[in-house]
Structure 1
Amino acid sequence: MKRLTLLLLPLFTSGCAYFSFNSNLDKENFDEYFKPGSVQIYEQGQLADLNYLYLGTVEGESCQSDANQAVPNAGEARTLARRRAADMGGNGITFDKCAEFSDVPGCLKQVICYGQALKVAEEK
């Protein structure tokens, strides 16, 4: 019986050799997810000591479109603004303000954060 098991064991294990694994993960999804992490938030006072290029104004929003959804928050809006700064080629951002609105078309409540996208030179 032991010999039979030893002879059949390779057959059982080789049955998995043709197993394939498919996933919906791809490099672009990872790059998009981690993009905001490449954009550092600066305070206005820090800019005096930096060499930077102003790229443009960006904004991000967080919207509660249904009463069953989570309340919008400034953190989510700032993250979206950082993603947009990265899309412009920026690696820095300064935020001017975040504003909360109620009963806007499409949103019960909404938070919008405004900022400036920056390309900050790396320190040597």
Structure 2
Amino acid sequence: MLRKGLLLISILCLASCTVRTNLGGYVKSQAQTEARSQSVEVYGANEIFSYNTRFLGQVESDFCQNERFAELPSKSQLQRTLKAKAQKLGGNGIVYGQCKTGRFYTGCDKYMSCEGSVYFIEF
């Protein structure tokens, strides 16, 4: 009985050592996106021109869903990714453009795309 118990404990210990997951990478990526997006402010299309700005470029974020009954991410999730990309370009301001959704687009069952214009604002 004792041998069986030790064998079971040994197998469980070995099994727990060999399980690998990408959860750590996912959590790290989400944390970086959240941290980067915090330093970028959102402005309206007319409002941005009341500041001393320099245009840095366009950013786009998209999502392809191939599972028929799965949900698309929220618009705010894609916009948070846009803010993180804006920060990577050196921007501290963004003007959101349009978000588009569609079905059966470029190999996706469902598709969503958002865009934005990135600015550096001097205060």
Scaled to the shorter chain, the TM-score interval is: 0.5 to 0.7
How is 1:59-78 mapped onto 2 (pairs within 5 angstroms)?
Answer: 59-78=60-79
Q: Which runs of 4+ in 1 moved over 3 A?
A: 27-33
Correspondence for 1:105: 106
Correspondence for 1:94: 95
Give the secondary structure class of the aligned counterpart of 2:36.
Answer: helix
Indicate how the Cα distance of structure 1 residues 36 and 65 shifts in structure 2: closer, same or farther if over 3 A, else same: farther
Q: Per-residue deviation at 1:74?
A: 1.8
Unaligned runs of 5+ in 2: 1-23
Q: Per-residue deviation at 1:38?
A: 1.2
For residues 4-37 of structure 1, the C-alpha deviation after alignment (integer angstroms, 9 at most, x for no partner) is: xxxxxxxxxxxxxxxxxxx98xx98744431111
Indicate how the Cα distance of structure 1 residues 28 and 110 shifts in structure 2: closer, same or farther if over 3 A, else same: closer
Identity of aligned residues (%): 24
Q: Does 1:55 align with 2:56?
A: yes
Larger CA Rg, structure 1 vs 2: 1
Indicate how the Cα distance of structure 1 residues 75 and 63 shifts in structure 2: closer, same or farther if over 3 A, else same: farther
Q: Distance in 1 between matches of 2:105 and 2:32?
A: 32
Structure with the higher fraction of residues in helix conformation: 2
The answer to whether the 8 Å contact 2:91/2:120 transfers is yes
RMSD: 2.6
The answer to whether the 8 Å contact 1:77/1:113 transfers is yes
For residues 12-69 of structure 1, the C-alpha deviation after alignment (integer angstroms, 9 at most, x for no partner) is: xxxxxxxxxxx98xx9874443111111110012123111110001111233221242
Aligned residues: 99
One-letter amino acid of the counterpart of residue 59, structure 2: V
Give the structure-1-normalised TM-score: 0.66
Give the structure-2-normalised TM-score: 0.67
How is 1:1-124 mapped onto 2 (pairs within 5 angstroms)?
Answer: 30-122=31-123
Unaligned runs of 5+ in 1: 1-22
The answer to whether the 8 Å contact 1:62/1:74 transfers is no
